[in-house]
Structure 1
Amino acid sequence: MSLAGFDARHVRLTVEGRVASILLDRPERKNPLTFDSYAELVALFRAAAADDTVGAVVLSGAGGNFCSGGDVHEIIGPLLDRDTKGLMQFTAMTGDLVKAMRACPQPIIAAVDGIAAGAGAIMAMASDMRLATPRAKVAFLFNRVGLAGCDMGACAILPRLIGQGRASELLYTGRSMSAQEGLDWGFFSRAVEPEALVEAAANLARQVVEGPGFANAMTKRMLAMEWSMSVEQAIEAEAVAQALCMTTNDFRRAYDAFVAKRRPVFEGD
C-alpha cells in the first residue's frame, strides 16, 4: 500500500510530492496518543517502509504542541485494570512504534513545538532529525508517574543523542529539557520561530528527497547498525554499503551531471 492511499483516521496524513506529513491532531488535549493512534502510527511507518515513492516523513503536532504522551483517560486509566499479560501487550505495542520508525527507510523529521512529553518525547527522540521552536519542552516524565525511565528504547537511544550523564538526569528526574538545552546538547539541530516551523521542516524534507533515495535509506540503516559495531566492523560494513550504492543509477546520474556541469536529478534507483 502507498502512503497516499492509506486511510488514516486517528492522525492526519498528507502526501505532497515525495514528502509525507503526519500531524497529531488533538490540539485541545495537546495531541495525546490513544490505543488507536498508537496502532495507526505503527501501521503508517510500516506502510512507509514499502512505499518507495516517499522519500521523507515530517511528524508534527497541531495547536502549538507536539504530543503530551499517552492520553491519561484513554490509556493510563484503562491500564490500571489490565493484568500482566495485558500490560505486556501494551508495552510491546508502544515499543513497536519506535521499531517501525527506526525500520522505516525514509528519514523522519520531527517538528517540535510546545510540549513533547512521555511518548511524545520518545517519538521526537526516535526521529532522525529534530527541529524545535524556542518554546519547545521535552520531558521523559515516566518516573513522575511511578514508572522507570527505560521506556520505548529511551535508555538505548537518548544517551547516544545527548550523552549518558545528561540522559540520566532527564530519565531520573523527569524534568523538561528546554529548547536551548536541546540545542546545546545536540538533541535539536536548530530552532525556528513557531510560525516558521512547519515550512522549515518541509524545506528540510524536500532537501532530503532531492538526494539519492537508495543511498539515504542506506545511511539511515548504517547509522542504526553501527551502534553495536566496533570501528573496524563499521568500516567493513560501510565498504559493502557504499559499493552497493555505486551500483545504482543515481551514482551514474551524479557522474554524468558532474561531467555536464549541471546539478544531478536523482530518482532513487
Structure 2
Amino acid sequence: MTIEETHDSSGGCPVLTQFDTGTARLTLNNARRKNAISLDMAARIVVFCDEVERDDTIGAVVIDAVGDYFCSGADTRDLAASSANASSPEAVARTSAIYESFVRIGTLPVPSISLVTGGAVGAGLNLALATDLMIVTPDAELDSGFLARGIHPGGGHLSLLGRAVGWSETIAMAGFGRSLTGKEAADRGLAYACVAAADVAALVDQLVVAATTDPELTRRVLRSARLELGPPAISWSSALEVERGVQMWSMSRKGEQAWSPRGPKTK
C-alpha cells in the first residue's frame, strides 16, 4: 500500500492519494473551503489519473473527500480572476484545467465510484457525475449551482446530467435551479445508491471486489461498455461484434480445464 500526500505551498495537503490491493483512492482535502477545486487540486487529479492509467494492477477508483462536504465546485477565487477577462488566454487556461480534472476521471480505464456526503455543487457535481457510480448519503444535496451564481453551466454539465436523468430533470436542475437530496438522486437514477454514512465503506468494499480481482478483464469490460453505450450508443448488431473478440480473448485466457468442476488438471 502507498499513500501520497500532495502538498500545496501553504503546507496543506489538498489532495491525498492511496493505491492499495487493486484500488486507487483520491481524497479531496480542502475542507476549509468545502473541498472547492483549485488549480493545484485539478493538476494533482490529472497526475493521479496518469498513475491509474499506467498501473495495470488497478481495477477500481474511489473518489471521496475529507470533512462533511464532498465538493462545492470550482474555487471562487479562480472564478473571480477569470471573470475579470473571461476570454483572455489565462482565463481560458484556468477553466480548461478545471474541466480536465473531471474529464480525466470520466475517461479512466477502470470503473470509478464517487462518495458524496454533504453536497456536490457545480464543478463538484460534474466531478461526481464523471464517475461511473455515485454513492450518496440521504441528507446530501446535489445542486447544479450555476444558475444561482449567475453563470452558464460549464464542463459539459448539461450533458453529464442529461445522460443520467434525461431532459426534464436536467432542466429542472440547471434551468430552474432545483436541487436533489441524496434520496431523491438515487430514486431518479442520478446516484447508484443512497446509504447512511456509516454504511458507505462496507458498500464500497463489496463493489470493488470483482473489479480488483481481475483488473485486466475489468479494463476490457469498461472499454467495451464505453464503445457500446457511448454516448452515442451503438446498435445491438454492432455490440455483438464489439464483444465477440474480447469474449474470445477472455475464454482463451481461461482455458478449457478451468471450466471443470474439479478445476484444472494437475500433473
* TM-score for both structures, normalised by structure 2: 0.85
Structure 1 132/229 Cα, relative in aligned 2: closer, same or farther at 3 Å? closer
Aligned to 2:163: 160
Question: Among residues 149, 168, 172, which one is paired with 1:169 in the alignment?
Answer: 172
Equivalent pairs counted in the alignment come to 255
8 Å CA contact 1:139, 1:174 repeated in 2: yes
Identity percentage of aligned residues: 22
Query: What is the alpha-carbon distance in structure 2 between the residues aligned to residue 161 and residue 99 of structure 1?
Result: 16
1:243 and 2:245 correspond: yes
Could you tell me how far apart the structure 1 residues matched to 2:244 and 2:37 are?
Answer: 39
> Which residue matches 1:218?
220
Long gaps (5+) in structure 1: 263-269
Give the aligned partner of residue 120 of structure 1: 124
1:188 and 1:133 map into 2 onto residues whose CA distance is 10
- Structure 1 residue 142 corresponds to structure 2 residue 143: no
Q: CA RMSD in A?
A: 2.4
- 1:63 shift after superposition: 1.3
**Off by >6 Å, runs of 4+ in structure 1:** none
* Structure 2 match to 1:42: 46
Match of 2:10 in 1: none
Q: Distance in 2 between matches of 1:65 and 1:245?
A: 41
1:90 maps to a residue whose letter is R
Pair member with larger Rg: 2
- Please tell me whether the aligned partners of residues 56 and 208 of structure 1 are also in contact (alpha carbons under 8 angstroms): yes
User: In the alignment, what sits opposite 1:266?
Assistant: none
Encode CA deviations 1:24-51: one digit per residue, 9 max, x unaligned: 1122322111110011112211221121
Letter in 1 for 2:161: L
Aligned ranges for residues 192-231 of structure 1 at < 5 Å? 192-210=195-213, 212-225=214-227, 226-229=229-232, 231=234
Corresponding residue for residue 11 of structure 2: none
Change (3 A) 1:202 1:12: farther
Letter in 1 for 2:225: L
Distance change >3 Å, CA 238–CA 213, structure 1 → 2:
farther
